[in-house]
Copies of this chain bind each other. A is one copy, B any other.
Amino acid sequence: MIRRKTDHTDIAEGPGPKRKRASRAGNLAEHVYTSLRRAIIEQALAPGTKLPEDSVGTSFGVSRTVVRSAIVRLVAEGLVVQQPNMRATVASPSLEEARAIFRVRRGLERMVLEELMSRLEPSHFAKLRAHVTSEEKAKRHAEPESIRLSGEFHLLLAQFTGNELLIRFVSEVVSRGSLILALYGRPHSSECAVNEHLALIEALEHGDLTEAARLMDEHLVAVATRGLLDTDIKRERSLQDILSAYRPAGEA
């Protein structure tokens, strides 16, 4: 664990003068935020994992300032918790909290369906079906990927409403839902979800709001209950190790 201040050289450094703008600058906080978020949702960072500002900073090659602002955001959306002078940690919701979150989620997704009616076009259905296809494809591979995609299906629906606030709220409950499944979910819990997504799409195509709402509700109850027994919490790993996979955000 020797992480002296000298080794932030791995990204933004070098003798050359033109280093610096790894991602065109001005975006570092956003990038760290996004990466941490993904890492949490994909279960790479298990609930309870400590997030010391400078360790995270060195992982991404940025200063604490940047990490700090990312963490403030994550705390604001409940993915990370933090007490006054103490290290931030990945949230680890209790069963009670988990249930409360899923209740809110059910309400929000009902709203999504209501907003969606009479707004859905053929192109939307195409996208939904395409997404389900990729869900099916991922099902056989990685579990975290599968959970993430399953959540993104719901996010996609929300996005079709065009209601910014609703999108953000759904996005939050979906994220936290993933976190919860990571905590309490038993493996393969996302398997059957694909069929349920398909059934939902069909109800929407028929313009049957009540049926869609019923299916959605059933689906969410299923997702919520499917998981809540097995408390097989994930084992430890090095923070540096985990985050190294989330560093190179895309461009050279």
Which residues of A (69-117) have their CB < 8 Å from a CB of B?
Answer: 69, 72-73, 76-78, 84-85, 97, 100-101, 103-104, 107-108, 110-111, 114-115
The CA-CA distance from A77 to B164 in the complex, in Å, is 12
What residues on B are CB-neighbors of A101 within 8 Å?
165
Contact of A220 with B by CB under 8 A:
no
Q: Are A103 and B76 in contact (CB under 8 A)?
A: no
Total interface residues on A, CB under 8 Å, equals 31
Q: Which residue of B lies closest to A84 (CB)?
A: B26
SS class, residues of chain A in contact with chain B: helix
Q: Check if B173 sits within 8 Å of A97, measured CB to CB.
A: no
A161-177 vs B, Cβ < 8 Å mask (1 yes, 0 no): 00111101100010010
State the number of copies, please: 2
Inter-chain CA distance A26–B85, complex, in Å, is 7
Query: What are 17 A-B interface contacts by the 8 Å CB criterion?
Result: A69-B69, A69-B72, A72-B73, A76-B76, A76-B77, A97-B164, A100-B165, A103-B163, A104-B163, A104-B165, A104-B166, A104-B169, A107-B108, A107-B110, A107-B111, A165-B176, A169-B169
Using a CB–CB cutoff of 8 Å, the interface residues on chain A facing chain B are 26-27, 65, 68-69, 72-73, 76-78, 84-85, 97, 100-101, 103-104, 107-108, 110-111, 114-115, 163-166, 168-169, 173, 176
